[in-house]
Structure 1
Amino acid sequence: MEHPAYSQLRPVTPSAGVVLCDNPSYSALEGTNSWIIRAPGDRVAVIVDPGPHDEGHLNVLQAQAEAGGAEIALILLTHHHGDHADGAPRFRQLTGAPVRAADKRWCAGGEVLEDGELISFDGLTPTIEVVATPGHTGDSLCFFIHGAGGAAGTDDDVEGIISGDTLAGRHTTMISETSGDLGDYLDSLRLLDKRSHGVRLLPGHGPDRDDAAEVVEKYINRREQRITQVTEAVEKLGEDATVGQIVDEIYTDVDPVLRSAAKQSTRVTLHYLGLSTN
């Protein structure tokens, strides 16, 4: 079974499978990937990003996770955006499982997740390492799936990285202007670059990828290129140049549909450079 496959459990690694929500959009690509962490024969399952408040999707997700009599012990959020997290309160009602996130505002019945924390349960083969990766939003996390129950920071048994919106299966990811930060994002990408080589990417949107490092390196190069382009555009046009003028200078053939995204990316870069926007 290949991506996209709506309302079905698609196994991706020995301990992780995905149910794709039917909520396609420009930012969500084909939809939100909701991840089920559970090895064959395990009595316990953990859900990462139940997705939007879509009753049909949540019901399918619950049925697939509980197949064979397993119990959903925990709901994890990569970050607070609605297409990943709005379904969490309802999913907690359906399953009784606590919700944990990096920000206490999005937790329910569970504690705030800590960077470097290792999550484990009796009856669940893999362990789940919490890795703080702020940038897309301030509360963004990745989850490293240790298929053999390994410890945090030891990558020999990491079979996949659930990345939320920090990394996508195709295209790039946007940085939130309200809670994101380009400097933090670059730091997060460099951290991931050290630990992602040969590890499968399990993204929040788009298809899974064989080697997460290939995506990480592409993202770093793209961001560094944009920083250079914005810097050169400001030097040419002057610091009083508007965001629209900078976009016209850099994105010479941008699709009008993508102009808003280009302006957002430019504003984020200007903020990173310490320049005001007009």
Structure 2
Amino acid sequence: MAVPTDPRASWGLPAPGALPRTAELEPLVTRVLAPNPSPMTLDGTNTYVVGAPGSGQVVLVDPGPDDPAHLAAVEAVLAARAARCVAVLVTHHHGDHAEAALPWGARLDAPVAAASGDVAGPDGRLLAPGERLPLAGTAIDVVGTPGHTADHLAFRLESGAVLVGDHVLGRGTSVVTHPEGDVVAYLESLRRVHDLGPSALYCGHGPELTTDPGAVLEYYLVHRAHREQQLLDALAAGAGSVDELVASVYADVPREVWPAAAQSTRATLDKLAADGRVELTGDGGVRPA
């Protein structure tokens, strides 16, 4: 199988570290970048301030880390919009997206809503796929996108843009966490978002994707199929453990992200085992079926 081509390579996206702290993405949406860059979070976590201009209200999506400088930047956007926060929405439970949800919700007197009760808190709202949330002078559709984590959601805006959390990244590809991540569910979720015909993908990390969002989703699907074949080829060549597979398949990826690659590898092996293409041994090994 030929190595798939990432369509973003020719788009002239901002270089790593070049995203501005705040950016107006469209009349409904302002992005505020949290100061938590890392190999896993890229430039940092993207917090989105969503609301109709002039409505006097906004919704925060993925407040991110509970960081004073980040809170100050978000509150500056609220002040510039002359708006109050009426809800905090969270795509999934990972701390780089959810840590600030409850403390900021309390500070802003705004309820927290998520798919997980641990994230939403005892006074929050549990969200279900298919819901439409009439908030901040607009409507936000809840889209179920499990795979990266079991509780992952995306949010579709009236403009057609989709806030995809960690389901799609502005650069590179997302991790399917193990053991809670599910590659089969992840692939189904990619297709679900693709079928929405998004006008833009606003990612949890990295730049927004506006040139051809559908092409990125198609690339993600082909990339996953390519990874499966790489694993099968490495097994056929003699690899017999997750560590050996990661060293072979991810040889061109910085070692600092190999632990995340191991998670995706384990999740993919679970899928291949369910498909009857590999056998997982009791000692943590793996071999072709």
TM-score by length of structure 1 reads 0.87
Distance change >3 Å, CA 259–CA 71, structure 1 → 2: closer
User: Equivalences for 1:116-265 in 2 at 5 Å?
Assistant: 116-121=130-135, 124-147=136-159, 158=160, 160-197=161-198, 199-210=199-210, 211-237=212-238, 241-265=240-264
Stretch moving more, 161-170 or 100-109 = 100-109
**3-state DSSP class of the match of 2:93?**
coil
Alpha-carbon spacing, 1:45–1:254, altered in 2? closer, same or farther (3 Å): closer
Counterpart residue type for residue 132 of structure 2:
L
Q: Among 117, 136, 158, which residue is 1:104 paired with?
A: 117
* 1:66 and 1:72 in contact (8 A); partners too: no
Cα distance in 2 for partners of 1:171, 1:269 equals 17
The whole-number CA distance in structure 1 between the counterparts of 2:130 and 2:68 is 33
Q: Distance in 1 between matches of 2:36 and 2:255?
A: 23
Shift of 1:254: 4.3
Moved more, 132-141 or 255-264: 255-264
- For residue 70 of structure 1, the aligned residue among 74, 79, 83 is 83
Q: 1:237 to 1:117 in 2, by over 3 A?
A: same
Equivalent residue in structure 2 for 1:27, among 40, 59, 64:
40
Unaligned 5+ residue runs, structure 1?
148-157
For each residue in 1:94-126, what CA deviation from the matched residue of structure 2 results, as whole angstroms up to 9, or x when unmatched?
1010000011121133320010100013xx332
CA contact under 8 A between 1:175 and 1:181: conserved in structure 2? yes
Q: Quick one: percent identity of the two aligned structures?
A: 36
Please say if residues 102 and 120 of structure 2, whose CA atoms lie closer than 8 Å, have aligned partners that are also in contact: no
What count of residue pairs does the alignment treat as equivalent?
259
CA drift at 1:248 = 3.9
Once superposed, which parts of structure 1, at least 4 consecutive aligned residues long, lie more than 6 Å away? none
Give ranges in structure 2 of 5+ residues lacking alignment. 1-13, 274-278
Q: Match of 1:119, SS?
A: strand
Computed over aligned residues only, the root mean square deviation of the Cα atoms, in angstroms, reads 1.9
Alignment correspondent of 2:58: 45
The equivalent residue for 2:97 is 84
Tell me, yes or no, if the aligned pair for 1:45 and 1:66 is still in contact at 8 Å: no
In the superposition, relative to structure 1, how do residues 32 and 255 fare at CA in structure 2: closer, same or farther (>3 Å)? closer
